Amino acid sequence: MGTHVRHPMWLSAVRPAGARTFASLYATESFARATVSSVIPIQAYEILQNEQTVSILYTVVSLLGLSVTLFMPVLIRRFARRWVYTAGACLLAVGSLFFITHTLFGQMLGMLCRVMGASALSITLNLYIMDHIRKTDFMRSESLRMAWSMVAWTGGPTMGIFLYTHFGIYAAHGAVAIFAFVLLGLFWFYRLSDNPLIAAGKSRAVNPLANIGRFISQPRLRLAWLIAFGRSCFWTTFFVYGPLFMVIAGQGEIAGGLLISAGNALLFMAIFWGKAGKRFGARPTMTLAFIAMAIALFAAGAVGTAAPLLTGGLLLCGAFFTIALDALGSTVFMRSVHSYERPQMAAVYRTYLDFSELTPPMVYSVVLTFFGLGSVFVTLGCLMVVCGIVTWRYVPKSM
């Protein structure tokens, strides 16, 4: 009797995890990341005073973050999911401390903490989702998760820019720390780690290089990675080069924040795209999205700084179709991965985000040597065409 612990009554009243559980966690995490999503590139530009050097900075940070992502299964097996998730939330808060130094070294460390934290949160949350949500419900669950995050990604960037320009660097990054600690409280309230469906992996630990080989050997997983990489490349470009474009085109920092918020306001369309995917099938819906994104990007590149507001509108058009891929794209991975290797394959799959933050700035730093800022959008449009063709060719009709 002496070892028996009585938990408070409200703990036993927590509902089993469902689509809304993960939607609320993701929405809170989105607030922690979205608040400074448009502040960070502007802050980097203030420090470096050159858009090409900003691209190089993002490239270096993404390279460092990639190695952390690949070793995430090792961390999960060593420390358990709940502690990796907790560490991810804490890293977002720690990153804020580095950002407020407003130095190049602090900027790099802050960006690295942000990348590492996002990686830990993304991988562990996806594992929890696959444990609790039935495969047939993935499309609905993912579209709901995107729609709930709409508030964060709509109001966050503008709020961050407002805090940064009116109250200073401490206010903008302090807000991130607050959201990170709210996320921690919510996560532990849900007690996801106590769910009996979640059990430790029975397979032996596999090194990251072997995981990569195993992932590449499965065509469906390669396809899921490419789809996720393509849409994430759009968001990386939109978040980094959208605000930069508005500043360089003379529209100001607030215009950059408003552009990001307007693009994210479209996230409520995730529910519409989820229904469209169920009605018409994932393959034609995702193919349409990629091709429409390409057309919008080519037009944005052609217009460029000649009409900045029109270019911004074309980028928003591209964002509208990208949300279809946010709502439907991850279902290709979730329906294809084997249950016994989810942690290992989820970590490799998550590298799409690292590569999407690494590859575009690296390519753009070369392209910008020869062409103007509009060339960034044209280059991205070419990738969208490739992704659209591959999606139409290889995504099964039954998916």
Express each pLDDT in 176-190 by its tens digit: 999 999 999 999 888
Give residue-wise pLDDT tens across range 158-179: 888 889 888 888 999 999 999 9
Distance of alpha carbon 39 from alpha carbon 164, whole angstroms = 7
**pLDDT at residue number 323:** 92
Two tokens, residue 279: 């009605």
Task: Classify residue 24 as left (phi > 0), alpha (psi -120 to 50) or beta.
Answer: alpha
Query: 197 in a domain, yes or no?
Result: no
> For the chain, how many structural domains are there in total?
1
pLDDT for 279 beyond 50: yes
pLDDT band at 24 (very low <50, low <70, confident <90, very high): confident
Q: Helices H, strands E: what count in the chain?
A: 19, 0
Choice between 208 and 77, residue whose per-residue pLDDT is larger: 77
Average pLDDT along the chain = 83
Query: 324 in a domain, yes or no?
Result: yes
Distance of alpha carbon 162 from alpha carbon 368, whole angstroms = 29
Distance of alpha carbon 354 from alpha carbon 62, whole angstroms = 6
Distance between first and last Cα of the chain: 53
pLDDT for 201 beyond 90: no
Residue 260 contacts residue 274 (beta carbons within 8 Å):
no
Query: 3 in a domain, yes or no?
Result: no
Q: What's the rounded mean pLDDT across residues 315-333?
A: 90
Query: 353 in a domain, yes or no?
Result: yes
pLDDT for 147 beyond 90: no
pTM of the prediction?
0.74
Query: 139 in a domain, yes or no?
Result: yes
pLDDT band at 193 (very low <50, low <70, confident <90, very high): low
**pLDDT at residue number 135:** 65
Residue 224 contacts residue 333 (beta carbons within 8 Å):
yes
CATH number at residue 169: 1.20.1250.20
Q: What's the rounded mean pLDDT across residues 353-374?
A: 83
Domain that holds residue 334: 16-191+205-394
Q: What's the rounded mean pLDDT across residues 136-143?
A: 70
Place of tokens 């960037």: 157
pLDDT band at 299 (very low <50, low <70, confident <90, very high): very high
DSSP state, 7? P
Query: 5 in a domain, yes or no?
Result: no
Query: 309 in a domain, yes or no?
Result: yes
